[in-house]
Amino acid sequence: MRHPQTTLVRLGWALLALALIGLLAWALRPVPETVTTAPVTSAPFTDSVREEGRTRLRDTWHVSVPIDGYLQRVTLEPGDPVSPGQVLFRLEPSPAPALDARSREQAEDALSAARARLRAAEANLETAEAERRFAEAEYQRYRRLHERQLVSTAELEHYASRRDRQRALARAAASGVEAARFEVESARAVLAVASGTRGDDDTPWLEVSSPVGGVVLERMRCCEGAVAAGETILEIGRLADMEVRVDLLSMDAVRLTPGMEVEIVGWGGPPLRGRVRRIEPAGFTRVSALGVDEQRVPVIVDFAEDVDPAALGLGVGFRVEATFLIWQAEDVLQLPTSALFRDAGRWAAFVVEDGRARLRHLEIGRQSGLVTQVSDGLEAGETVIVHPGEGIADGIAVAPRA
């Protein structure tokens, strides 16, 4: 017969072995995968494209200098209103250049020579006048003798011809004196030039007027100084002609049509209404922030007729965000786009059923941002796994993350 103490020891060891086996089984049991879930809902759905844009003017006018000259100070500043025909700025003749020592000495010699020629011309004029007066007196004397028939007609005509020649020589001498005076004045003007000398107050200037009414958008030159022909001074535009340019991805631009409604936001105020006016036929390549080449297409948006962007404080080159409304409905079955993935060439999602993940193939429709329309495969109220990882498989136990 066994001792009772031995039986108790064996019973204790058996209970300890059973406890260890239970702990091992509990430790090795399958742990549900923690997942993030989201419900499938039926709610309003809007298919839209949202992109950043810039305001601009449909037409602008660059007012430039028509000729070389000296620009007077431009008093107009950006934002100042202008009316058609208003004087924008004035031009003076270019200042006379400075003379170096050699050029000044040459100018002094030229002035002395011009004065000498003037004195010679005046002397010639005096000689010609004396000869003319003598010829006039001689002709008058022979004319009286001819009247008394003391000289022949041929002799009288000889002295008349001599008188006419002397008159012509006197006129030529007077013209020579006048030309010599002009030479003297020209030489004196060259000699009187000083460094950077500008015209007097009575010097005529050229006034450049505004071609249209509007506001000054930009002032390229404000201070006075020499300018060349064709240099732009001011840029003028009408704020009433403001529009928005949005560069969309080509895959989004093909979904738009002229006249489509646009919501303009992100400008610092309430949403504004607009419409697509033009989708340009030519695109361009732009490198994104990630270094990827993107094909972009310019889309031009007009503000609604009852929207005055200038009165709201919008100007040229302001940043806005344009939302193009492609399609919308009130009751659409939808799920988060992050719950979708491709399986065997089809769209699929994991649905949570009785604590386990079940693979479900779907038919989807439109996508808009973070949500996607479900055409077939799900019902409202079901729960799907968002961002399913590699550890999620069909039939695996899952636990929603708190």
Mean pLDDT for the stretch of residues 371-389:
91
Q: How far apart are CA 132 and CA 18, in angstroms?
A: 158
Q: Looking at the predicted structure, is the pLDDT value of residue 107 above 90? A: no
pLDDT tens figures, 230-288: 999 999 999 989 999 999 999 999 999 999 999 999 999 999 999 999 999 999 999 88
Sorting pLDDT into bands at 50, 70 and 90, what band is 201?
Answer: low
Question: Which residue carries 């700025």 as its tokens?
Answer: 89
Domain membership flag for residue 39: no
225 and 175 within one domain:
no
261 and 227 within one domain:
no
According to the model, what pLDDT value does residue 236 have?
94
243 and 356 within one domain:
yes
Mean pLDDT for the stretch of residues 52-72:
92
The C-alpha angle 353, 355, 359, rounded to 5 degrees, equals 45
383 and 332 within one domain:
yes
Sorting pLDDT into bands at 50, 70 and 90, what band is 202?
Answer: low
Domain membership flag for residue 29: no
* Mean pLDDT, rounded, of the chain: 87
Identify the bridge partners of residue 114 per DSSP, sorted by sequence position: none
Domain membership flag for residue 21: no
Residue 382 C-beta-side C-alpha neighbours within 13 Å: 23
CATH of the domain at 228: 2.40.50.100
332 and 215 within one domain:
no
C-alpha of 333 from chain center: 45
Question: Domain boundary at 164, 191, 218, which?
Answer: 191
Domain membership flag for residue 371: yes
Q: How far apart are CA 225 and CA 203, in angstroms?
A: 16
Considering only residues 190 and 44, tell me which one the structure prediction assigns the higher pLDDT.
44
Q: What is the pTM of this model?
A: 0.60
280 and 221 within one domain:
no
251 and 362 within one domain:
yes
Token code pair at residue 119: 């004195």
According to the model, what pLDDT value does residue 92 have?
86
Alpha helices in 215-297, H assignment, sequence order: 250-253
Sorting pLDDT into bands at 50, 70 and 90, what band is 195?
Answer: very low
Domain extent for 74: 63-93+206-237
Q: How far apart are CA 80 and CA 374, in angstroms?
A: 55
